[in-house]
Structure 1
Amino acid sequence: MILCIGNVLTAEELSYLCNALAAASFVDGKTTAGWHARQVKHNTQLKEDAAIAPELKQMILNAIQNNSVFQMAVRPKLVRSPLISRYTPGMSYGTHVDNALMGNLRTDVSLTLFLNDPNTYEGGELVIEDSLGSHPFKLEAGSMVVYPSTTLHHVEPVTTGERLVTVTWVQSYVRDAGDREILFDLDTVRHTLFETHGKTSEFDLLSKTHANLLRKWAET
């Protein structure tokens, strides 16, 4: 399942982040790429030991983890510390698949959170490939796209302006993407039913089914 989630960061948070990043130091993004992805990764990333890095990363991580749709769709067990990336004209990230393991984290879900206005740069679409074709994403600032880490994907070259994003990876309690989608659909219907009719016998039955499937599929 590929899912776009809006308003992950507030306007105030985005303003603070972009102002801080304008004065921050960036390094070659190849330093965090796998041996094969290093050949096609052409961007820069916020310097890990930059004084502002811990604060900005924690702000982003809190916003992601506090998002209710993210929690429902991804069922996060572990979330890796995010990387903040910058693309200027001529930069891109060629076709690759994310590493299956990053330290002690198995990558089940990848996400890209867009930090600046898409109208301020040309190109830079994230393109995710699946059995139905290629799907480009260039979202509003503060929005993110989450997608299975098993997919091939790439970032189109930026031709003008500057693209600012943060990326990270998640190990889910539910390993299988299809199972996560079933749980998300059930949870969405369950919440809608409760908001419309309150706690009914139908709601209880859906809740039982959702809980028992999660109990069956979850890896603790």
Structure 2
Amino acid sequence: MTNPFYSSPKTLLFLLTILLSLQLQAQNSPEKFKEEVESIVQNTPIPNSAEPIYLFTGSSSIRKWTDIQEYFPDQTIVNTGFGGSQAHELLFYANQLIIRYQPQNIFIYEGDNDIASGKNPVTILNTMKKLVTKIHKSLPEAEIHFISPKPSPSRWELKEQYEALNRLMEIYCKKTDKVSFINIWDITLNENGKPMPEIFIEDMLHYNDKGYDLWYSVLKNYIPQ
């Protein structure tokens, strides 16, 4: 008599494959950020000002820049970064995190986590293009700035993929109206051509104040002082 609870190795492998596939889908679903995005929207009101809005968004390098307003005290700064995000997730939440604020300038930092997750540079750029199209459909006059994915000690083995993505982004921006590329890669390398360890916190992925000071030295050229 066949045991109904018995499964052949092939059946077990099939079930395991399905389970892993479902787990990956859950990890890649933008829905995982639903509560965080709702919290950002709730705690980041639309500025009640006629002055231009400079909006920063993207992954944790933006989210962790909590004192960004202090770097640009004379401007209206909005930060809607959400940690761990990738380009397709920002695309999914673009209405909530970008368009609702009607910014004149939008600074986007994505691609870092995308590369780390195994996505190839062409796929990432294609998603960023979709994001630009979506933004300009609602905000045709907005200036969009791609901040180059940064070098970091913890992900230095992925250097070639990062450099490829940055090249693709830069080429695209040069050919696209109202989209610019901001290179922060070069200024965060030391004389040996490697990421400066002193500008990172203990995880060697996220910046300390010295790291954000370097970003400011470049970004100030895009924001009136």
Q: TM-score, structure 1 length as denominator?
A: 0.25
Q: TM-score, structure 2 length as denominator?
A: 0.24
> Structure with the greater relative contact order (CA < 8 A, sep ≥ 6): 1 or 2?
1
Q: As a proportion of its length, which structure holds more helix? A: 2
Larger radius of gyration: 2
Q: As a proportion of its length, which structure holds more strand? A: 1
